[in-house]
Every structure is written in C-alpha cells, then in structure tokens.
C-alpha cells in the first residue's frame, strides 16, 4: 500500500480552503500532492490550466509544447509575459509555476507530441489534460490515453465557442457498455481548411481563460473524486449568448479503438 504524502505546515495553510472543503479535505489534498498530470500545450487553454493546477498543489505537472512565446500570444496566454517573448513556453511555464507554488514540480517536454512518442509520454503520468489546437494532436493523445489506460480531459475553443469532455474509454459504464472514445465523438478530422486556425478566425481571449479554468476543475474532480464526471457528456460553451449546454454521447460500436471489430 502506498503511503499518502504528508502535508507540511506551510502546505496546510496554503491549501486551507481545500482542506475544509467537503469533498476534498485533507485526503483529497494529499491525492493532489501525489498526482502527476501531463498538460498538452502551454497556450490559451494551458495557461490557466497550469496556473490553477499549480495553485491547487498538484505534485508534478508535465508540460508538452515545442513553441516559443510571441507577442500575439499575450492577448490570451496569461501564463507568459512580455519579458518572455522568444523563450520556450515550457521554460516560461516552469518559472511561472515556481513563483506561484514552490511545492509543485514542473517537468518540461519541449517537443511536439505525435503518435510515435505519445504513449511513452502519457504512460509516465496519472492523468492527461489536452489543450492543443489541432485534430492530429488530439487523436494522437486520445489514442495513447486509451492504450495506456489514462483518463483524459480534453477541450477545444473556437472564436466565441468551446467544448469540454472527459474520456475513460478503457472502462465500462454502469450498464457494462464500454465508455466512448474520442473517435466515438469525432470519428474523422474535418477536411483541411474546414476549421480556420486561430490566426485566421481569431479567438476571444477571456474564453480561453474560462475554459482552461474549467479544465482545471475537471482535472481536480477526477483526481479527488467529488461530483459528477463529464465522461459521456460534452459541455458546450457559447459566449455570444452566454449559454452553457451539456449533450450526452455514447460508445460507437464501429470505432477503431474499442469497437466491435477491434482487437
């Protein structure tokens, strides 16, 4: 049996509002300290996600990003500052986390995640949070999480809208059916050019802050166990109408990962 990590007196004071919170408490805070979370992308979604995971006391945060900070990032990527322009985002993230919480370790992965390396990266962590901005990365990450049996919190933003869900397709639901995969939700990537890039369509900066913070909420919920999971539910955000809706989705027997014809 693994012994839960002990909280120092400084940590007890730092996390006091969690420790008195029903559903988290001391045991939940110890789970956060013991947890290793891999964040894909230190951009618009990753910025608030990394900050709130660090503030919450997640013991180790791995960050995968091969990009450098540019001036156009700063409208929404609040983890970085003007002085960080030109630096690797993982280095800027490491320094920001060190300033925020010395009890948290940030492990840098300055590379692009691809099918060839995704499983090795995912395997080293307890939970994965994907805030990447393209379908190729999302498929690589979600497939790796399926094969390595790791929970995945994944989100995407458009100009004024966003979506968020959690995936545990290596498990079954209460009726014994397989949980859905990312490929049950999105069987195929949209045609090239069908979804304009952020540089072309723009993105509302505060939207990434809201959704990245919601990703952090879902990660903390997954790690500590309070509340109702987003497995099989897709949260949709429309900022033009300030509308939040949740749609359910299920297992597709034809999906290539855990479908009826899969190995």
Whether residue 259 is contained in a domain is answered as no
pTM above 0.75, yes or no: yes
Taking only the tens place, the pLDDT of each residue in 9-29 is 999 999 999 999 999 999 999
- Report the pLDDT value the prediction gives residue 193, as an integer from 0 to 100: 66
Return the bridge partners of 154, or none.
Answer: 130, 165
Span of 7-16, 149-158, 195-204 with lowest mean pLDDT: 195-204
**What does the block give as tokens for 202?**
């723009």
- Report the pLDDT value the prediction gives residue 78, as an integer from 0 to 100: 96
Taking only the tens place, the pLDDT of each residue in 67-79 is 999 999 999 999 9
For 238, the 3-state DSSP assignment is strand
Whether residue 254 is contained in a domain is answered as no
Whether residue 2 is contained in a domain is answered as no
- Report the pLDDT value the prediction gives residue 194, as an integer from 0 to 100: 63
- Report the pLDDT value the prediction gives residue 263, as an integer from 0 to 100: 62
As to burial, measured by CB atoms within 10 angstroms (0-12 exposed, 13-18 middle, 19+ buried), residue 138 is buried
Q: Would residue 242 be called left, alpha or beta, if left means φ above 0 and alpha means ψ between -120 and 50 degrees?
A: left
Q: How many domains does the chain have?
A: 1
CA distance to 41, 98, 128, per residue, from 208 (Å)? 12, 22, 18
Whether residue 214 is contained in a domain is answered as yes
Which residues are designated catalytic? 198
257: DSSP letter: T
Whether residue 3 is contained in a domain is answered as no
Whether residue 7 is contained in a domain is answered as no
Mean pLDDT, rounded, of the chain: 94
Q: Which structural domain, as residue segments, surrounds residue 214?
A: 12-190+205-248
**What does the block give as tokens for 115?**
């099918």
Query: Is pLDDT at 3 greater than 80 in this prediction?
Result: no
CATH of the domain at 214: 3.40.50.720
Whether residue 55 is contained in a domain is answered as yes
């Amino acid at each position: 049996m693994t012994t839960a990590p002990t909280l120092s007196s400084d940590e007890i004071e730092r996390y006091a509002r969690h420790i008195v919170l029903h559903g988290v408490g001391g045991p939940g805070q110890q789970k956060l300290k013991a947890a290793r979370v891999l964040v894909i992308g230190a951009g618009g979604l990753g910025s608030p996600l990394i900050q709130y995971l660090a503030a919450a006391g997640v013991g180790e945060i791995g960050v995968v990003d091969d990009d450098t900070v540019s001036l156009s990032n700063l409208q929404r990527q609040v983890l970085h500052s003007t002085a960080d322009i030109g630096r690797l985002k993982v280095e800027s993230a490491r320094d920001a986390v060190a300033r925020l919480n010395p009890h948290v370790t940030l492990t840098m992965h300055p590379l692009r995640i691809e099918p060839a390396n995704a499983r090795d990266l995912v395997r080293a962590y307890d939970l994965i949070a994907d805030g990447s901005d393209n379908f190729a990365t999302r498929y690589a990450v979600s497939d790796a999480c399926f094969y390595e049996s790791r929970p995945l919190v994944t989100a995407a933003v458009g100009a004024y809208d966003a979506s968020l869900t959690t995936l545990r397709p290596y498990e079954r639901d209460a009726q014994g059916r397989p949980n859905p995969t990312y490929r049950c939700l999105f069987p195929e990537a949209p045609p090239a050019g069908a979804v304009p890039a952020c540089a072309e369509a723009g993105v509302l900066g505060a939207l990434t802050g809201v959704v990245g913070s919601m990703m952090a909420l879902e990660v903390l919920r997954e790690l500590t166990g309070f509340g109702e999971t987003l497995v099989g539910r897709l949260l949709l955000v429309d900022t033009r109408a300030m509308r939040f809706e949740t749609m359910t989705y299920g297992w597709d027997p034809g999906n290539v990962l855990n479908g009826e014809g899969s190995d």
